[in-house]
Amino acid sequence: MTRLRDRETGDVLVEVMKPVQFPTRSVFKNNVTAKEKGQTYRIRTLEMALVLKFAPIISLMRADEDKYQDAHDFIRIVKNNADIDVDTLAELGDLKYTGGGKEIVEMVRNVRAGRS
């Protein structure tokens, strides 16, 4: 990973990750194309976005304060998107680790039920 920092504050402005491990390796296979004002963009699918938040939440190496931010983002994504394809989500979660699909789908169900 390469972090681009503000020269004055040292704050991380952009993190660039090489797509050599899952889930970043799968981002390019799980995106949609959008066009706006003559520009074309590739945007990750809803399910891929959830997996990209799930992976750091379960990481042993991530700082707690960062995990809370990822969990916040995960919850907001679920609450604002009723059309999550849970089958696709489970397939992507299982690519992270065996049983990851079941765990991420359960996390979505917990959010929808108002559970932590």
Q: For the residues 33-53, what does the mean pLDDT come to?
A: 92
Which residue ranges make up each domain of the chain? Answer: 21-112
User: What pLDDT is recorded for position 29?
Assistant: 78
Which helix (H) or strand (E) segment holds residue 103: the answer is: helix 100-112
25 has pLDDT over 80: no
Distance, in Å, from the CA atom of 47 to the CA atom of 67, rounded to the nearest integer, reads 19
pLDDT confidence band for 116 (50 / 70 / 90): confident
Mean pLDDT of the chain: 89
User: What pLDDT is recorded for position 19?
Assistant: 59
Residue partners of 95: CB distance under 8 A and separation at least 6 = 22, 23, 26
User: What pLDDT is recorded for position 22?
Assistant: 62
Q: For the residues 25-36, what does the mean pLDDT come to?
A: 81
Distance, in Å, from the CA atom of 74 to the CA atom of 59, rounded to the nearest integer, reads 15
Strands 39-44 and 31-36: antiparallel
